[in-house]
Every structure is written in C-alpha cells, then in structure tokens.
A and B are shown apart, each in its own frame.
Chain A
Amino acid sequence: MTTNDPIYKTDALIAQDIDAYLEAHQHKTMLRFITCGSVDDGKSTLIGRLLYDSKMIFEDQLAALEADSKRVGTQGQEIDFALLVDGLAAEREQGITIDVAYRFFATEKRKFIVADTPGHEQYTRNMVTGASTADLAVILIDARKGVLTQTRRHSYLVHQLGIRHIVLAVNKMDLVDYDQATFDEIVADYKTFAESIGIEGFTPIPISGFKGDNITGPSENTPWYKGPSLLPYLEAVEVDVTSDQERPFRMPVQWVNRPNLDFRGFSGLIASGTVKPGDEVRVLPSGKTSKVARIVSLEGDRDTAVAGESTTITLADEIDCSRGQVIVAAKEPLEVADQFESTLVWMDETELVPGRAYWLKIGTQTVSATVHEPKYEVNVNTQEHLATKTLDLNAIGVANITTDREIPFAPYGENRDLGGFILIDKMTNQTAAAGMINFALRRAQNIHWQATDIGREHHANMKHQKPAVVWLTGLSGSGKSTIANIVEKKLARMNRHTFLLDGDNVRHGLNKDLGFTEADRVENIRRVGEVAKLMTDAGLIVVTAFISPFRSERDMVRAMMQPGEFLEVFVDTPLEVAEARDVKGLYAKARAGQLKNFTGIDSPYEAPENAEMRIDTTAINPEEAADLIIERLIP
C-alpha cells in the first residue's frame, strides 16, 4: 500500500474518551534518533513525511506549505515536504539544511526527537552533535547512487559516538522502479563496509520519503521486501536508558542544595544504576564513604531513583562533597586518573595547539587540561591513520590528554555521561572539541610523587624568604629584560636568593630544539613554567622575561604555582614605541618579511586582563618600575 493518508491522523479515543487517551499517552516512551545522509538523499523530505504522517502538520501550515512548494519547491506542483523542516531564511533560499535542527513527532507508542543533521563534509561537527544524544541513527542512501564517501563518513561517526542501532534507509526507491536487485546490491556493499569498521548489525529498509513507501506500513511496490517498515521499527526498537539501570550507581554531583544549616542535599542526574536509602556510597575522587539517608523530592521522599532521573539525595554522614565529584556505589567505584587516551573531534575554526591548556568539561566538572600531539588523525572516508601535528575543524584523531587533577571517569564505550567531554578554548570560550575517553594511561597510575623529607617550606625557611615568580610579559623591546635585570640586582642587594630566566637565554639551551610556531611557543613557555616551579620549590624568587604572548599559556603557568606565588607583570609599551626603539633590529626584519610569526607584526599579543601589576613604560623608567615590583613583592 502506498499511503499518502496519514495513518496516525486521529485517534478515535481522543473524541470518545479523552481521559483514557491521556492515561495511555502519559506512558509513552521516548526515542531520540538522527538522520544523516548526503546533500540530496532526501533527509528533509523524509522528516517532513514523518511529521506529516504522524499528523504534526496543521491546516494552516499545510496551506503555507502548498504555497511555498509552488514558489520555491523542488518537486513541481507536488507538496515539497523538505520545506517543512528547512528553517532559517538563508537556507530556504539555498535549498539546503545547514545546521542541526530538532524535530518532534509522536505516535501512539512513542515520542520521537529527531536530530536533522547535514550531509555537507564541512559540517561534521553538527553531525557529531546530533549523534551525541541519539539512541539510533537513520542513514539515508540514494538508491540511484549507492554507498558514497559520505555514507562511510557518517557511519563511522555514528559508530564512534556509540550508537548501537542503525537503520540503512535506501531512499528514492521510486526512482529505480522499486528494483530489488538494486536494493540488495546496496545492502551487500554497505554490509562489507560496516563490518570492516566494527558495526555489528543494521536494519536495511527500502523506502521512498517522497511517495511514502515503507514508511508507516508495507508498500505494495516492494512485495519482495519482508522486513519492518520504518515507523513501526522506530516504535519497537529498544532504547538505552533502561539498560543503564543495571549498571553500578553513579551520579555526578551538579549542585549542593543547602537551604539551611540542617539540610545538605546533593543534586544530580543519575548516569547509571539505581539508588535507595541505606545504600552504601563513596564520593570520588576523595574516596570518603557514607550511606544514602533520603531521596528528596517536592512530592515527598522517594524509595528509589534510577538512571536518567534528576534527583536530590542526602547522606548519613557530614562528608565533603561538592559540584564535580561523583557519588558511586561504594563497592563498585569508578576509576580515577589524570592521563587519558581519547578520541577527539575538532569543532573550532582555530586548530588544536598541542601543549596549550584548555578547559575540559566532563560530567559536572570543569578542569584544566592539555592535549598532547595527536598520535594520528583518522581519514574518516577510509579509516586510515594519518600522521599529524594538530587537528583542524572537522578532523578526528586520537591523542593523550593530561588533566591538572585526578578525575573520576568511565570509558566512553561504557557510559556517555562519564566518558564524553568537551574542550573549551580558554580565550574565546568556544567549544573547541568533543572528546571520548578510551582509557586511562597506565603511566598515570604507575608514576607517583616521591615524598621527599626536605620539603619546599624547609628550602624557603633556610633562605628566610617566601618563594615567588615575577613573570614579566610584553612585546619585544618593551623593556622586560632591562627591568628584570634591575629587579634581580636590587633583590640580591637585599640578600634574597633569586634566579633570572630570560627568553633569549633559555633558547640557547633548554629550548634550543624549539622554533617560533604557535605550538613551539606554547611548549617554550610550558618548560619555562616547569623550571620556574622547581625553582620555587627550591625556595628561590624567580624573575622571568618572556614575551609570552598568549593568555592561555600565562594562565597555565599561573596554575602550576602555589596560590599567591605568581606575580604577573604586564610591561605595557605601545607597539609604535617598541618598534621605534627596536634595540635588536627585529622589527625591521619582521617588517621586511624576513622574520615570520613575530609578535605584534604577524602574530598576536594578548594583553593580560587580570595581571597583578601593569607597568606603563611611557610614564616611568626601568629603575622606578623595578622599585614598584619589589614593593609589591616584599611589602
């Protein structure tokens, strides 16, 4: 039966007994799925068709649709369903979908949320976004074209994102005369590919989104096809959220509820398992244990709460627990680590800078993290591993990540909420990447801190001083080295134990293997930071003079130091002034194009926003500047 009549049009029950209808519909389940395919595979048409067939289109919308179809439609005088879902004005003119759009429809059994994701190669990030919350993927293939590069790319991504249910919708069957051989050939082709990347199974369905074949019920045009139609299949497929309940209890703490001194509740969405009062739990990473006292809700205390629910629990003991920590079943705790191998999907226009610090948000916790140089990038079309030094927009690769503290986690394959993370660019605040933890590096567990008997305080006490890092930052020629030198001389006169780390000098030794690319400059600063940190452990007052143009690296060094021991000094000299001085003749060279990546000329300088001090070198001389710094350092 080819059906253009919406079979879900009106439920007789609505008219007869609305209370019974409501009772039935309050018990619907929910399935989230994504549709993906190449540009002209007919995704929007299919979704429009699903909305239409489940009666999500009203008369006024239909009238507007008919008018639009005649004006800008691509289907002649027939209704162009794609126009129903292509939202933004610019896209309507271009005739393509350019972003992730979420659509809603419901049948008698289920509510569906569809992520409509684009087929364009450059929009991988949108597809990954749509897939991250989906239980199922519908991969569309144009029956006339068969398995394309895009099909492989989308299937690989869907598999990477851990989606276990895949429907292969072979669309536009009406344009190949519903030919079984064509369908079988495509399915065989896809099967070979799917198996090669580890997809365990998929459900192929021959359809026509435009004509409505095998959407709501079996089509008489494909008598040779005995499998399920699309909508009945989507209604029946099992969703992940219930199976998560069988796993051990895990709840990332989102917010501590403290209305008064007598109540302290821990709120969060349960990532897996179930919980009930009396359960023994452990708080990670601290490892403290307690028992669940109550499960609190507006309607009164509850006996149990399960995976997928947002809840608030109280504990029997007063133990430390705050946002970002994870409450877990005491006997089955999570792993805790600070080094991971992870798969990254780069989502930002600005490419990955290995060694640079990013915010990493996982569960309810945000920590600082650095990404190491990628082990490889994956060619998503061929799944080949390619050597690379970075990842740019839409690239997928595998890299190690180090966080600045230990975090509780689960491999992504086990739990999306505890193994999926995003990286955030510290300067632009953009979401730079989506990441999935593969496993913790054993290094993290095997390299321990050796406790030494003579501690940093001992070193400092012997020198009768408080260790510190005076970090001078500013343009080349701003006067950093001059000021640093005077500061150190003055401190020496005051019998302080000091050391001056100078930008030019370290490049002759420690950092002579580094150039001036962005990645190398990051590494340059990281090493200097680590050295400065060791020196503060030894009790020294360290003075540094580095251009250190990027805010994120200065923040990275700040984060390495003990609180209060980092003094960022912005040596503020306007570019014109520094260039006019040009002590080393570098600006002239840079202007002549002989020196690449020169700060201020063809590489940016990000001025500090929250530096402890700002020295205006157009107003005071280096001597006065040094005095100000020492005043601040030794009040």
Chain B
Amino acid sequence: MNKTLTHLQRLEAESIHILREVVAEADNPVMLYSVGKDSAVMLHLAKKAFYPSPPPFPLMHVDTTWKFQAMYNLRDKAAKDAGMELIVHQNPEAKAKGINPFDHGSLHTDMWKTEGLKQALDKHGFDVAFGGARRDEEKSRAKERVFSFRSANHRWDPKNQRPELWRLYNAKKAKGESVRVFPISNWTELDIWQYIHLEGIEIVPLYFSAPRPTVERDGLILMVDDDRFPLRDGEEPKMRSVRFRTLGCYPLTGAVESEAQTLPEVIQEMLLTTTSERQGRAIDHDQSASMEKKKQEGYF
C-alpha cells in the first residue's frame, strides 16, 4: 500500500538531500546560525540528515553584540546539544569603532553583518556556507538558487547563476569562489512553524508572548533588553505583553503586542494577522528592492 507523503515530509526530504550533497562535495562547509526560527529548523534538519553522526561541520554565528540576551543563551545551548563546534565572529573593526544601531544607522548592518560575514568566511576558509533564507521571504529571493555562487570578493551576480535541474546541484567552483546554500529555500513561514510544532524544536522564548520592558519609537515597539539602550527625553520603559515575529538586533527589531504564549497560539496569530513578517525589521523600509542591493553587496 502506498504511503502519501505530506508537504512537510517532502520538504524535509529535499532539505536533507541538499545538506548531504554539500557535505559530500564541499571542502570546508559551515552552517551560518542566526538563532532565529529558520536557523532552528535548519539545524534540526542537519541533525536528522547525519544521524547518528553529529552534523560534520561547525556552526557559525556572525555576531553584532546587539542581539537579544535570550538568543545568546539558546545559541550556546543549541550548539552543545547538537555536538557541534560553535564559532562566534565579531568584526574587530566594528568593535573598535563602537558601531551600534543607535548612532550608525545602516552602517551597523554593513559592518557587523555584511563585512563580518565576509571576514569570518575568509578567516576560516569556508567554501560553502549554509544559510536559512527562504524564497517566500522577499520578492528578489524568489529567484535565488539553492546553490548561490559568490565571486572571490563575495559578490552575488543575479545574471550569472547556474540553472538547477531535478535534484542535481552543480557544486564545482574555482579557487576563491564560494557558495551560499539555502536548504530551506522552498519552505514558507507557515511550513516552518508547523514543523517546529510537529517536531518539538526548541526556539528562543522571545517568539512567545510575555511582559517585557518596551518603549515605542518611530512606529516600532522596541524592547529594552539591556542598559545600553539610550532612552530619549520623556521615554520610560513600559511593561507590555509582546512577542517577536522575527529576531535580529534588539534595537532594530519591532515587537508586536500579543497574548500568544504557546506555539499553536503563535501560529494562530500568524494566520490571522494581516501584515507580512519582515515588517518588524527596520532594514527593509529604506527603499523598494533594498534587500536585493544588500544581497549583491554580500549581505546574506
């Protein structure tokens, strides 16, 4: 009797196939780990793909020093649980200059993330980096390949990407070139949540609602996660019942007011909501096609 595979089973099989294909063909792969829900799913898939071996590559976090504390806690635990080496890279130049999201605007993302990532990949000589990007996140990503080739200076050329046929990925590359591989390209936000629910994957508690100290600024509800948050005149942290739909640097990540304390409630809220996921991130609001520009420059 035939067994009908569900959409999640087919997505899982495809992602595991991609993870294994890279390990079989790459010289020195690494998994970029952002501690968000997509990273959590990607890491879980890696555990499944290589069991009983631990995933045969390190986890790397390109840190900005401005993530939520709860993210740092889960990051260290997740790497330990998976039996994987954790590499944390902080751009020394950004550190020396004290680059922060309050004073430096988009320079913050450029230096900590875009430059930081390039530095880290070069420093360790990684030729393939797994990333947790999904095609449904943003319009220009819908056209991104699963294997995305970068020139020796990490640039992405949308006109010069290889066709991907069947399940055959051409991973050949010249010296100095690298590949970003997105194993969960074909997952949607709902797929991710459903899978986390089904598989009982641990995620950062910030995704669930709790009373948190917040201020409202420029239309975003921001969490005062530590005492580096410079309060403006008249601003006073106020306890609000909030959660986050997406996680990044805490001063750049808007919260939503919510009572969803369990995963089904979060999913329910997501399904009933009427604004898209990235709206809580300041980075996208610059201009239309901003993500595409960032990508060409080497932002993940």
A26 CA / B8 CA spacing, docked (Å): 7
Is residue A224 within 8 Å, beta carbon to beta carbon, of the partner chain?
no
Once A26-B6, A308-B10 are accepted as A-B contacts, the answer to whether A88 and B24 lie under 8 Å apart by CB is no
A64 CA / B3 CA spacing, docked (Å): 43
- Cross-chain contact B53 with A60 (CB below 8 angstroms): no
- Cross-chain contact B24 with A59 (CB below 8 angstroms): no
Stretch at the interface among B71-79, B223-231, B271-279: B271-279
Minimum C-beta distance from A54 to chain B (A): 11
Residues in B neighbouring A58, C-beta threshold 8 A? 273-276, 279
- Cross-chain contact A255 with B23 (CB below 8 angstroms): yes
- Cross-chain contact A88 with B158 (CB below 8 angstroms): yes
Within 8 A of A (CB), among B241-299: 264-265, 267-268, 271-276, 279, 288-289, 292-293
Residues in A neighbouring B276, C-beta threshold 8 A? 58, 60-61
- Cross-chain contact A421 with B168 (CB below 8 angstroms): yes
Find the A residue at minimum CB distance from B135: A102
Once A310-B13, A417-B166 are accepted as A-B contacts, the answer to whether A296 and B279 lie under 8 Å apart by CB is no
- Cross-chain contact A255 with B170 (CB below 8 angstroms): no
- Cross-chain contact A297 with B5 (CB below 8 angstroms): no
Find the B residue at minimum CB distance from A429: B172
Task: Flag A66-107 by CB within 8 Å of B: 1 or 0 each.
Answer: 001000000000000000111111001000000111111010
Once A15-B268, A255-B24 are accepted as A-B contacts, the answer to whether A347 and B163 lie under 8 Å apart by CB is yes
- Cross-chain contact B165 with A434 (CB below 8 angstroms): yes
Is residue A128 within 8 Å, beta carbon to beta carbon, of the partner chain?
yes
Minimum C-beta distance from B292 to chain A (A): 6
Task: Flag A400-437 by CB within 8 Å of B: 1 or 0 each.
Answer: 00000000000000001100111010000111001000
- Cross-chain contact A364 with B24 (CB below 8 angstroms): yes
Task: Flag A452-489 by CB within 8 Å of B: 1 or 0 each.
Answer: 00000000000000000000000000000000000000
Minimum C-beta distance from B202 to chain A (A): 14
A60 CA / B274 CA spacing, docked (Å): 8
A113 CA / B292 CA spacing, docked (Å): 22
Point out the residue from B3, B140, B167, B293 that lies within 8 Å of A306, measured CB to CB. Answer: B3
Is residue A257 within 8 Å, beta carbon to beta carbon, of the partner chain?
yes
A259 CA / B293 CA spacing, docked (Å): 42
Point out the residue from B10, B49, B142, B163 that lies within 8 Å of A87, measured CB to CB. Answer: B142
Is residue B188 within 8 Å, beta carbon to beta carbon, of the partner chain?
yes
Once A22-B264, A100-B143, A101-B142 are accepted as A-B contacts, the answer to whether A310 and B49 lie under 8 Å apart by CB is yes
Most buried by B among A113, A242, A255: A255
Minimum C-beta distance from A420 to chain B (A): 5
Find the B residue at minimum CB distance from A61: B276
- Cross-chain contact B8 with A310 (CB below 8 angstroms): no
Q: Classify chain A's interface size.
A: 35 or more
Is residue A272 within 8 Å, beta carbon to beta carbon, of the partner chain?
no
Once A125-B163, A310-B49, A434-B165 are accepted as A-B contacts, the answer to whether A85 and B194 lie under 8 Å apart by CB is no
- Cross-chain contact A297 with B48 (CB below 8 angstroms): yes
- Cross-chain contact B166 with A110 (CB below 8 angstroms): no
Residues in B neighbouring A196, C-beta threshold 8 A? none
- Cross-chain contact B13 with A424 (CB below 8 angstroms): no
Minimum C-beta distance from A436 to chain B (A): 10
- Cross-chain contact B139 with A85 (CB below 8 angstroms): yes
Minimum C-beta distance from A387 to chain B (A): 27
Minimum C-beta distance from A421 to chain B (A): 7
Is residue A191 within 8 Å, beta carbon to beta carbon, of the partner chain?
no
A298 CA / B7 CA spacing, docked (Å): 20
Residues in B neighbouring A359, C-beta threshold 8 A? 172
- Cross-chain contact B188 with A106 (CB below 8 angstroms): yes
Most buried by A among B53, B135, B267, B289: B53
SS of A interface (majority) = mixed
Find the B residue at minimum CB distance from A308: B5
Minimum C-beta distance from A522 to chain B (A): 20
Once A18-B267, A88-B292 are accepted as A-B contacts, the answer to whether A254 and B275 lie under 8 Å apart by CB is no
Is residue B238 within 8 Å, beta carbon to beta carbon, of the partner chain?
no
Minimum C-beta distance from B186 to chain A (A): 6
- Cross-chain contact A129 with B163 (CB below 8 angstroms): yes
A86 CA / B190 CA spacing, docked (Å): 23
Residues in A neighbouring B53, C-beta threshold 8 A? 257-259
- Cross-chain contact B51 with A312 (CB below 8 angstroms): yes
Minimum C-beta distance from B238 to chain A (A): 25
- Cross-chain contact B275 with A308 (CB below 8 angstroms): no
- Cross-chain contact A29 with B4 (CB below 8 angstroms): yes
- Cross-chain contact B48 with A111 (CB below 8 angstroms): no
Once A110-B7, A113-B186 are accepted as A-B contacts, the answer to whether A14 and B272 lie under 8 Å apart by CB is yes
Is residue B16 within 8 Å, beta carbon to beta carbon, of the partner chain?
yes
Minimum C-beta distance from B154 to chain A (A): 17
A21 CA / B23 CA spacing, docked (Å): 37
Residues in A neighbouring B194, C-beta threshold 8 A? 22, 25-26
Residues in B neighbouring A133, C-beta threshold 8 A? 165-167
- Cross-chain contact A298 with B51 (CB below 8 angstroms): yes
Find the B residue at minimum CB distance from A131: B165
A15 CA / B5 CA spacing, docked (Å): 27
Task: Flag A318-347 by CB within 8 Å of B: 1 or 0 each.
Answer: 000001000000000000000000000001
Minimum C-beta distance from B232 to chain A (A): 26
Within 8 A of B (CB), among A97-143: 99-104, 106, 110-111, 113, 116, 125-126, 128-129, 132-133
Residues in A neighbouring B198, C-beta threshold 8 A? 26
Residues in B neighbouring A254, C-beta threshold 8 A? 17, 20-21, 24
Minimum C-beta distance from A553 to chain B (A): 18
Point out the residue from A14, A30, A87, A99 that lies within 8 Å of B7, measured CB to CB. Answer: A30
Minimum C-beta distance from A593 to chain B (A): 33
Find the A residue at minimum CB distance from B138: A87
Residues in A neighbouring B95, C-beta threshold 8 A? none
Is residue A3 within 8 Å, beta carbon to beta carbon, of the partner chain?
no
Contact sample, A vs B, 6 pairs, CB 8 Å cutoff: A87-B139, A89-B140, A104-B136, A125-B163, A254-B17, A310-B17
10 residue pairs, one from A and one from B, having the closest CB atoms: A30-B7, A310-B16, A87-B139, A111-B7, A58-B276, A429-B172, A259-B53, A89-B289, A18-B268, A59-B274
